Chain A
Amino acid sequence: MRLLHTSDWQIGKVFRFADDDILPVLQQERLEAIGRIGRLARAQGAECVVVAGDIYDHLRPSERTLRQPVERMRQFPDLRWHLIPGNHDFNERDGLWERLARTGLPDHIVPHLAPVPAPLDAAGTAWLLPAGLGHRHVIGDPTAWMDGAATPEGTIRVGLAHGSVRSFGEEAAGHNLLAIDRARLAGLSYLALGDWHGAMRIDARTWYSGTPEVDGFDVGGAGGGQALLVTLDGPRAEPVVEAHAVGRFRWARAQAVLTGADDIAALEGRLRAIDPDDPSRVLVWLAVSGALGLSDLEGWQARIVDGLGSALRLLRIDGAPGLAPSSDDLEAFGPGGAVRAATETLARQAGEGDEAARAVAAAALQRLYLLARDVAGGMA
């Protein structure tokens, strides 16, 4: 049989850095990914889709957010959609999953809220062992019960769980930790995991699918944007796992030290090369340092900030190139003018005092150059 393994849809996720224009686009694209997953499954002949938790980003989404993914899945009645609660949308009493049930789910959308084996497909050739979360943080291994869970003889056992096979760090230590060899212990043909946003193979039978639409600049594994097509030829057969791209946006981090026009051009080339066909699919978080002359500073503004900023879906810039005025820039003010004196004052201030005051003085100096040149140009 074939199934499509996905997780961490995080529907309703809010991106703080995104402005009012881009946020709806990012949110919308996460919904669109469901359609792409459905179409992929259909195209690849998969009978069902297993979603390994975190369908929703929030425990209490709005009614529209709650219904939107259901409506997307409703478009694929030929597929069985198996869902489990994750740590973001854990099964709270009187909570999200009860709301979802009250909306009246179609039969092909199956939430698994209790650790009870259930048939994965209509024929019952494979059984699903779901380990949804009942709390944000579960003490103990939620998959432990699978070891002793009985399924009909000769059927394929597929585990579905949400959590870490190892701790992400001190903070999360001890919560929702899964035994790394659960597939072996519980005799699973395949263990479909969610929680990590990048696709990752733990062992031949244990995989993280990652999120179908990337949602961060720093994600582990393959970085997300994929779904896993899993082919299970029998209870003992090793699963064949293929990763398929389903995401639209590319998220990238970049760094640049700018000292001249060449650097700017190189940076622009680099960023445009991320997706030469469609830069609007690219989100970049750029860290910039260095210093430029007046004209290069204009080039930076024009080519990167304004140009690339418009081309890319998002260009988030940390820092800015400083101003390194050339002797020509200084000459524009004449040898003894008040503006010239002011530049000297600001240059001095930019080199002394506390960090914040220095930064302000440097920015003021840069502004003065630009203004003075504008003024001079206006006079000319």
Chain B
Amino acid sequence: MSGGMILRGLEVEQVRRFGDAVRLAGLGPGINLLGAPNEFGKSTLLAALRAVFLLPHGSKARPVAELQPYGGRGAPRVAVDFTLDGCDWRLEKRFMQRAFVRLEGGGERLDGDAAEARLHDLLGVEGGKRGAEAMGLLNALWVGQGHSLVQPDFSDPARATIRSCLEADLDAMTGGDAAGRVLSRVAADLAVLLDGRGNPRGRYRAAKEGEQEAAAELARLEARRQALEDDLNAMADLRRRLAHEDDADRREKERADLAEAGRVRDRLRDHDARYRAARAVRDHAAAQLAAVRQDLAGRTAWERDLAAGVARVAELEGALLTAQGAQDAAGAAHAARLEAVRVADAARQAARGALDRAAGRVERARLVHERGEAAAALDRLDRAAQAVTRASAELAACTIDDARMGAIRKAERALDAARAASRAQATTLDIALADGGRGRLVLDGAALESGRVVVTDNAVLRIEGIGTICIEPASHGRDTLRAALAGAEEALRRALAAVGCADIAGAEAALAARRQAELAAQAAQTVLGGLLAATGQSPVTAMDVARRRLADLDVRLGRIGAADGEDIAGDPVAVLDAAREAMQVAEERYGAAHQALLAPDETMRRAAEDLARLRAEWQVARDGAAQLARDLEAARAVEADEALSARLAAAHAGAEAAELALLRIEETRPEGTEALADAAIQRLERTIQEGHARLAALRQEMAAREARIRAAEGDGLDERIAAQERLRAAHAAEDAACAREVAILQCLRDAVAAAERAATERYLAPLARAIQPALSALFPRAVATVEPDFSISALSRRIDEPFVNLSDGTREQIAVLARLGLADLMRARGRPAMLVLDDALTYADSGRLDRMFDILTEAAGRLQIVILTCRTELFTGLGARRLAVEAVGDATAEGH
């Protein structure tokens, strides 16, 4: 354990829940375990440890205040015994009231700030500011509850410590420290010119703003100069105009022009009055002349109108005659059309008669034909009924029928049977006649031929030339047989008699005749049925119907009569068609004539209108002519035609005289018109008047402009513009210099930072190497990615897993491994290092926990590890030193 730091004892008093002095007993090299329930004060002990090592004794900062006992004031006191590089040390601090520090060891005994300085030196930490914790790697290694999940967060001194440890491993100094100082100098220089967001500040900003302000001011000045130049130009113009307005000669001429214009206007007015008077005289004479002429013209017009009116009356009378003739002609035409209608109607009637006749003829022919048909049908019906009657009678006459025939045949068969039985009892004679023997042998009177003869009864055979032979058959039942035979014969005879037939052949014939009769009756019935089938009536009814129909037809024939149209030759149908056509023609003709009659008669109407109009006109013309004649007569009575002519001559002479007088006046008219003269006067007056106003306005404007010009000139615009341009250029140059300075500093910063990063990456390798064995033990084949700030950012197993994505357990384990690795690294470089784990590894499963135990145990061979836990059972397999908290009888006594 050489080179390491071993905590051997910790005493606290007046620290939070520990009012009386207590001691953490049992501390030693390797793994130390304090298992105790929650609220026991484990974290308080850790806080006390941090305080005694890291907090200045004079501090009243919050971490110190928080050490005070609950609910009261107090002076927390902490003492530790530790071994560092083989040398034993005791450190004791009291905070707040009567604060002190004492460090003893290695033959030294230091108090106060000297003790603090020595302590910092021993631990390799830097004093904190304003009573805060000293900063170094121990801060990161001694973490409390809740920090075990996160990786160590290093202060700058801690980082420097690690870096120097790592650099020591390299062959040469990396200069990382120098780079850091350069960087901070560059950052400070940059901070003068740029603010936190990279915007210009200080003189850089002032230069930019100054340039903008100068440019704005310049623009304002330029605008003012422009305004001044405008004013100057305007002034020159105004001066020209003023010189023009203020010209005395011109004004005198204007006044003279005005007077002359007034005189011209007076002359014009005088002439105008005379002219108007002469024109009035002339107008009067002309009016008189016009009146006479009008009278004359009126009289002539009257005469002309009268003559025209008389002629018109005559003309209208002629027209009236013509119109009358036209109207008469129109009436005649109308009568002719009436006659045509009448004739067409007669023709139409005649055609209708002919058509009716032709139709009657056709109808009669049809009826005659129909009657023939009906009579024939009746006849057929009658004959069929008779045939049926006849056949029924014949059939009824037949005595035989199938049953009787059957009885006959049965009787015959019985007879035949009786005969056969008789024959079977009979004697057989086989005759063989010798030549010439024929006829010579006679039996019972019948000559025999060659062959067999049966003799059933006593018989006599006579042989000619020989004699007779009596033959008596030897039959014992001959009598019975004979009786049977006789009975059979009788039965047959009776059966035959029943049907009235002599023999069987007759019966057969009678039966055949009956069959014929049945067929005939059936046929007759069929014929009748066929005839009746159409009407579905009985024969009697049918015949009755047929007879009635015949009678009906006869009646209709009789109605039509035979005489009408019988004389007409030819085919009745063709005749009928011709009659129809004739009828059509007659109808059309009638229609046309009627149409002609009914059509509006324009000629006649116009003739009537013309007549009426002409009559009215004629009336008016006649009345007008009469009136004119009366008026003319009256006028002449007042003034005779001669008197009127004399008046005309006088008026004519007067008018000519007046016109002459007017012409003479006109010839003396002065030049120009009164309106033009008035306009000239007005214009000249206005010119003079406005000239005064313009002059006043020009002087006013000039005064205003001049004031402005003087004000502007007094400002020295050109000079100020030049000065402003200089200012702007100066600011621009300053701005450029600042921009260049910024660029240079940024370039420098980037280069140094990049170099430092590269160097850091190089010396990170030892740290990775320090962590790697433990890491491999916990996560086989895993490689950790170590960042330049010494944090582990990712774990590479199969793929890269960012730290934040890892499970709580894995993150906690990596955090512990990182601290372990760092502590290991420190120890290996001879720096004080020990590890305190407060409630760590609570997320680990049992497998991981076992491996962590192995790792911790292995590390504990080099490094003191203190584990604070509330779950003692988890750590039973660790084989750690068990720590206990014991009361101290007299802490101060023991301390000295």
Is the CB of A62 closer than 8 A to any CB of chain B? yes
Q: Report Cα–Cα, A13/B170, bound state, in Å.
A: 66
A339 and B748 in contact (CB under 8 A), knowing A12-B719, A62-B714, A93-B232? no
Known A339-B175, A364-B744: A60·B754 in contact at CB below 8 Å: no
**In the complex, what residues of A have CB within 8 A of residue B740's CB?**
360, 363
A367 CB contacts on chain B under 8 angstroms = 744-745, 748
Interface contact A364-B172, CB-CB below 8 Å: no
Cross-chain contact A339 with B755 (CB below 8 angstroms): yes
A25 on interface, CB distance cutoff 8 Å? no
Are B747 and A360 interface neighbours, CB within 8 A?
yes
Q: Which residues of B contact A63 (CB under 8 A)?
A: 714, 716
Question: Most chain-A Cβ atoms within 10 A of its Cβ — which of B171, B179, B228, B239?
Answer: B179
B-side contacts of A365, CB under 8 Å:
748
Q: Mark A35-57, 1 if CB is under 8 A from B, else 0.
A: 00000000000000000000001
Q: Are A338 and B758 in contact (CB under 8 A)?
A: yes
CA distance A364 to B182 in the complex (A): 12
When C-beta atoms are compared, the residue in chain B nearest to A12 turns out to be: B719
Cβ contacts under 8 Å, A337 to chain B: 172-176, 178-179, 759
A338 to chain B: which residues have CB within 8 Å? Answer: 174-176, 178-179, 752, 755-756, 758-759
Per a CB cutoff under 8 Å, which of B171, B225, B232, B756 touches A95?
Answer: B232
Task: Determine whether the beta carbon of B751 is less than 8 Å from that of A345.
Answer: yes
Question: A14-B722, A62-B716, A375-B181 in contact; A342/B751 too (CB < 8 A)?
Answer: yes
Tell me whether A341 and B718 are in contact in the complex, defined as CB-CB below 8 angstroms, given that A335-B172, A360-B743, A368-B752 are known contacts. no
| Chain B residues numbered 735-788 whose CB sits less than 8 Å from any CB in chain A | 740, 743-745, 747-748, 751-752, 754-756, 758-759
Q: Are A372 and B178 in contact (CB under 8 A)?
A: yes
On chain A, the residues within 8 Å of B174 by CB distance are 336-338
Give bound CA distance, A118 to B795, whole Å. 103
Mark each residue of chain B from 688 to 732: 1 if its CB lies under 8 Å from any CB of chain A, else 0.
Answer: 000000000000000000100110111111111011011001100
Instruction: State how many angstroms separate the Cβ of A174 from the closest Cβ of chain B.
Output: 23
Smallest beta-carbon distance B168→chain A, Å: 14
Which residues of A have CB within 8 Å of B754? 342, 345
Least distance between B479 CB and chain A CB atoms (Å): 181
Contact yes or no, A361 B747, CB < 8 A: yes
The answer to the question of A65 belonging to the interface, with a C-beta cut-off of 8 Å to chain B, is: yes
- Given A364-B744, A368-B748, the answer on whether A376 and B178 have CB atoms closer than 8 Å is yes
Min CB gap B725→A, angstroms? 7
- How many positions in chain B have a CB within 8 Å of any CB in the partner chain? 50
Name A55-94 residues within 8 Å CB distance of B.
Answer: 57-66, 92-94
Taking a contact as CB atoms closer than 8 A, the residue among B726, B745, B752 that contacts A23 in the complex is B726
- Let me know if A60 and B225 touch, CB within 8 A: yes
For A342, give its contact among B179, B225, B714, B725 (CB under 8 Å). B179
Q: Is the beta-carbon distance between B182 and A339 smaller than 8 angstroms?
A: yes
The answer to the question of B555 belonging to the interface, with a C-beta cut-off of 8 Å to chain A, is no
CB-CB < 8 A to A256: which residues of B?
none
**Binary contact track B64-82/A, C-beta < 8 Å → 1, others 0:** 0000000000000000000
CB distance from A320 to the nearest CB of B (A): 11
- B185 on the interface (CB 8 Å rule)? yes
Contact B748 A364 (CB under 8 A): yes
With contacts A58-B722, A345-B754 taken as known, whether A360 is within 8 angstroms of B744 at the C-beta atoms is: yes
Docked-complex contact A341 and B755, CB < 8 angstroms:
yes
> Which residues of chain B have C-beta atoms less than 8 A from A342's C-beta?
179, 182, 748, 751-752, 754-756
Q: Does B235 contact A (CB under 8 A)?
A: yes
| B186 contacts partner chain A, Cβ-Cβ < 8 Å | yes
Q: Is B509 an interface residue (CB 8 A)?
A: no
Decide: A66 near B716, CB < 8 A? Known: A16-B726, A16-B729, A342-B752.
yes
Query: Which residues of chain B have C-beta atoms less than 8 A from A278's C-beta?
Result: none
- Give Cα A7–Cα B176 distance, bound, in whole angstroms: 67
The one of A13, A361, A378 in contact with B181, judged by C-beta atoms closer than 8 angstroms, is A378
Nearest neighbor of A93 in chain B, beta-carbon distance: B236
Most chain B beta-carbon neighbours within 10 Å: one of A14, A59, A345, A379 = A14
**Chain B, residue nearest A344 (CB):** B755
A372 to B755, CA, bound (A): 14
Taking a contact as CB atoms under 8 Å apart, the answer to whether B722 and A94 are in contact is: no
Choice from A16, A23, A379 contacting B725 with Cβ under 8 Å: A16
Q: Is the CB of B172 within 8 A of A368?
A: no
Q: Cα distance A333–B178 when bound, in Å? A: 9
Q: What number of residue pairs across chains A and B have CB atoms under 8 A from each other? A: 155
A374 contacts partner chain B, Cβ-Cβ < 8 Å = yes
The reply on A349 being an interface residue by CB < 8 A is yes
A217 at the interface (CB under 8 A from B): no
Closest A residue, CB atoms, query B718: A58
Tell yes or no: A371 within 8 A of B by CB.
Answer: yes
Which B residues are in CB contact (< 8 Å) with A18? 726
Taking a contact as CB atoms closer than 8 A, the residue among A66, A92, A368 that contacts B232 in the complex is A92
Q: A60-B713, A337-B175, A338-B179 are in contact. Are A94 and B232 (CB under 8 A)?
A: yes
B249 CB → nearest A CB, Å: 25
Q: Is A236 an interface residue (CB 8 A)?
A: no
A201 to B10, CA, bound (A): 103
Smallest CB separation, B658 vs chain A (Å): 72
**Within 8 Å of chain B (Cβ to Cβ): is A334?**
yes
A18 vs B225: C-alpha distance when bound (angstroms): 24
Bound Cα distance A58, B718 (Å): 6
Q: Are B716 and A65 in contact (CB under 8 A)?
A: yes
> What residues on A are CB-neighbors of B235 within 8 Å?
93-94
- Does A244 belong to the interface (CB within 8 Å)? no
Q: Is the CB of B726 within 8 A of A15?
A: yes
A333 touches B175 (CB 8 A): yes
Task: Report B-chain residues with C-beta under 8 Å of the C-beta of A58.
Answer: 716, 718-719, 722
A346 interface contact, C-beta 8 A? yes
Contact residues of B between 837 and 880, Cβ < 8 Å to A = none
- How far is B725's CA from A23's CA once the two chains are assembled, in angstroms? 13
State whether A375 and B743 are in contact (beta carbons under 8 Å apart), knowing that A23-B726, A60-B228, A339-B752 are contacts in the complex. Answer: no
Contact B726 A372 (CB under 8 A): no
- Which residues of chain A have C-beta atoms less than 8 A from B723's C-beta? 14
Instruction: Identify the closest chain B residue to A376 (Cβ).
Output: B178
B745 touches A364 (CB 8 A): yes
- Residue from the list A14, A62, A99, A363 in contact with B726, Cβ < 8 A: A14
A340 within 8 A of B: yes
A19 proximal to B (CB < 8 A): yes
Task: Give chain B nearest CB distance to A321 CB in angstroms.
Answer: 16
State the CA gap A99–B706 with chains docked (Å).
Answer: 11
Which of the residues A66, A333, A371 comes within 8 Å of B186, measured between beta carbons? A371
Contacts of B716 in A (CB 8 A): 12, 58, 60-66
Residues in A neighbouring B714, C-beta threshold 8 A: 62-63
**A341 touching B759, Cβ below 8 Å:** yes
Q: A62 to B173, alpha carbons, bound, how many Å? A: 67
Residue in B170, B172, B730 whose CB lies within 8 Å of A19: B730
Please judge, given known A-B contacts A94-B232, A337-B175, A364-B745, whether A14 and B755 are in contact too, CB under 8 Å.
Answer: no
CB of A15, distance to nearest CB on chain B (Å)? 7
Q: Is the CB of B713 within 8 A of A99?
A: yes
Contact of B751 among A12, A95, A334, A368 (CB under 8 A): A368
Within 8 A of A (CB), among B163-205: 170-176, 178-179, 181-182, 185-186
B residues in contact (CB < 8 Å) with A: 170-176, 178-179, 181-182, 185-186, 225, 228, 232, 235-236, 239, 706, 709-710, 712-720, 722-723, 725-726, 729-730, 740, 743-745, 747-748, 751-752, 754-756, 758-759
**A and B contact pairs by CB, cutoff 8 A, 21 listed:** A16-B725, A16-B726, A16-B730, A60-B716, A60-B719, A62-B720, A93-B236, A99-B710, A334-B173, A337-B178, A338-B175, A339-B175, A339-B182, A341-B758, A346-B747, A349-B747, A360-B743, A364-B745, A375-B181, A376-B178, A378-B181
- Extra A-B contacts (13), CB below 8 Å, given A60-B712, A338-B174, A338-B759: A12-B719, A57-B722, A58-B718, A60-B716, A60-B719, A62-B720, A94-B709, A335-B172, A337-B175, A342-B755, A345-B754, A368-B182, A375-B182
Top 6 closest A-B pairs, CB basis?
A337-B175, A62-B716, A58-B718, A338-B179, A341-B755, A14-B722
